[in-house]
């Protein structure tokens, strides 16, 4: 085994231990009530509803990715795109962070589009970016709609500004890359890989309606995510949290689970939600953390169902 491989394996182990350590500490300190989590999971009609909404999400994400692939002149059936989404979700459990599955999706899609590998890989990157922008867009829109709640205290104002600032920065970066893609692809000193990526980004400029459609699907998709989390929150008896507080917390909390620190955001997500609830709605801090854990268990089960698509998938 090479030294690079050893370092990679050690990094994964450390990230797993880091996430597990945070989770264990939160349970030991009482910030995470495992008994309440168990009670929430026993509410099986609600848990089944969360799973059902989760599969709805997969469909929306597959639709979004299909649009982004078509803009790159890559035609993939919805069924195959769905399968690749499920395979990516499965590997999110094995590779720390929600972006881990994107590496696997990139591998499969570049094999499926052998003549347009850079375009295929760029579609995976774009899908991740518009998903994040959609989450920030939903959070910023709800912060604006519930402006009184957003401006209630210095802490909530800071969170509102963080969401709005993150959205503006992400939108500016996204459109700057797309608008300048053709020019950047001609810079001679750039590596060939980057030139190809910038050239592929230019395809989205030529098909200008694709990004707004993908963003609209992202906002809808993230709205479904918030609905899933709200269902989990109801099982803890904390269903009366004001909408303004809810939407200040949830989008930012979900962003943290994409950071490649632990598999599926385990531990990191709990810490983020507890902290955000402590800032915005202290009375719901423990319930919010318990609800996120129940939601996370359902998402892990959904991701594990990707094993069927992984086993049955055939390269064409």
Residue 224 pLDDT: 95
3-class SS at 62? helix
Residues above pLDDT 70, as percent of the chain: 84
Residue 11 pLDDT: 52
8 A C-beta contact, residue 199 and residue 118: yes
Q: How confident is the model at residue 29 (pLDDT cuts 50, 70, 90)?
A: low
For residue 287, the surrounding DSSP H or E stretch is helix 285-304
8 A C-beta contact, residue 82 and residue 58: yes
pLDDT for 7 beyond 60: no
pLDDT for 144 beyond 80: yes
pTM of the predicted model, to two decimals?
Answer: 0.85
Q: Average pLDDT for residues 5-33, to the nearest whole number?
A: 58
Q: Within 13 Å of residue 288, how many CA atoms lie on the same side as its CB?
A: 28
pLDDT digits (tens, 9 = 90+) for 79-118: 999 999 999 988 887 665 556 678 889 888 988 887 788 8
In whole angstroms, what is the distance from residue 176 CA to residue 155 CA?
31
Q: Which of 131-135, 146-150, 243-247 is modeled with the greatest confidence?
A: 131-135
In whole angstroms, what is the distance from residue 143 CA to residue 245 CA?
9
Residue 180 pLDDT: 87
8 A C-beta contact, residue 222 and residue 257: no
DSSP one-letter code for 238: -
In whole angstroms, what is the distance from residue 176 CA to residue 135 CA?
19
Residue 155 pLDDT: 86
Q: How confident is the model at residue 30 (pLDDT cuts 50, 70, 90)?
A: low
């Amino acid at each position: 085994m090479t030294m690079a491989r050893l370092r990679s394996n050690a990094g994964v182990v450390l990230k797993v231990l880091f996430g597990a350590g945070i989770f264990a500490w939160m349970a030991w300190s009482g910030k995470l009530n495992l008994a309440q989590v168990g009670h929430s999971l026993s509410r099986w009609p609600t848990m089944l509803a969360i799973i059902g909404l989760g599969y709805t999400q997969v469909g929306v994400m597959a639709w979004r990715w299909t649009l982004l692939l078509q803009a790159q002149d890559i035609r993939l059936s919805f069924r195959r795109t769905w399968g690749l989404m499920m395979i990516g979700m499965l590997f999110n459990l094995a590779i720390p962070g929600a972006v881990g599955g994107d590496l696997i999706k990139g591998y499969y899609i570049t094999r499926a589009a052998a003549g347009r590998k850079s375009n295929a890989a760029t579609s995976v990157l774009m899908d991740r970016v518009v998903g994040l922008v959609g989450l920030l867009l939903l959070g910023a829109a709800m912060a604006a709609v519930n402006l009184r709640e957003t401006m209630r205290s210095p802490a909530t104002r800071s969170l509102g500004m963080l969401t709005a600032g993150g959205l503006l920065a992400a939108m500016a970066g996204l459109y700057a890359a797309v608008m300048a893609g053709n020019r950047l692809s001609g810079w001679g000193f750039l590596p060939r890989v980057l030139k190809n990526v910038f050239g592929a980004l230019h395809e989205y400029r030529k098909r200008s309606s694709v990004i707004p459609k993908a963003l609209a699907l992202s906002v809808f998709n993230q709205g479904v995510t918030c609905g899933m989390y709200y269902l989990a929150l109801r099982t803890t008896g904390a269903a009366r949290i004001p909408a303004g507080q809810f939407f200040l917390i949830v989008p930012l909390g979900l962003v943290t689970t994409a950071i490649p620190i632990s598999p599926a955001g385990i531990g990191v997500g709990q810490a983020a939600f507890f902290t955000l609830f402590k800032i915005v709605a202290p009375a719901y801090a423990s319930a919010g953390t318990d609800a996120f854990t129940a939601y996370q268990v359902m998402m892990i089960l959904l991701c594990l169902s990707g094993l069927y698509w992984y086993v049955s998938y055939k390269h064409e």
